[in-house]
Amino acid sequence: MTPSPIKHCKQCGSAVEHRIPDDGDTKLRAVCPQCKTIHYVNPLNVVGTIPVWGDKVLLCKRNIEPRFGKWTLPAGFMEMGETTAQGAARETDEEAGAQFEMQGLFSLVNVARVGQVHLFYRAQLTSDQFQPGIETQEAMLFSEADIPWEDLAFRTVKETLERFFADRKAGSFGFHVLDI
């Protein structure tokens, strides 16, 4: 097992030991030998939307790494104190400056190799005017035929968009769970 990246206790500052805790746990953890705190490293939630205007989807061209200059759905890391829907709405506002109404949860994509879970909600745009934030070079509407598939930033976005367009063609939106 790979040891945790944690080197010092968040409670008392002592150097941690990487071992299986004595509490019946079965995984290698960062354990403080002084105050006995067990530190866990858990997956991060990435939350975002699939914003739609007519038959087009809003994509954002990244102005940050990773994948600088590539296209993505507006999304980012969920913050403490917010729900997944609140985080998705905040990220859509921050990255695209879009006006929209939130709709249902559309996809949950497990990306275990990097410790992330991506959740995308459908969103109905109420305007085709955008004011992208500093993390976005430009925000643009794309029809399915014009999606820059080879220039998408992340596989989670590609998989989500493929399922979105298939559901739209079928006339009914489902909920999709994927492992990539």
pLDDT band at 1 (very low <50, low <70, confident <90, very high): low
Looking at the structure of the chain, the number of domains it has is: 2
Dump pLDDT digits (tens) for 23-33. Answer: 889 999 999 99
Residues 150 and 73 grouped into a single domain: yes
Residues 73 and 146 grouped into a single domain: yes
Above 70 in pLDDT, residue 3?
A: no
Of 175, 78, 73, 69, nearest to 125 (Cα)? Answer: 73
How high is the pLDDT of residue 116? 97
Residues 86 and 152 grouped into a single domain: yes
The enclosing domain of 84 has a CATH number of 3.90.79.10
Task: Tell me if the pTM is above 0.85.
Answer: yes
Residues 20 and 99 grouped into a single domain: no
Residues 75 and 34 grouped into a single domain: no
What percentage of the chain has pLDDT greater than the value 70? 98
| Residue 55: strand, helix, or coil | coil
Dump pLDDT digits (tens) for 62-85. Answer: 999 999 999 999 999 999 999 999
Residues 145 and 106 grouped into a single domain: yes
Amino acid residing at 78:
M
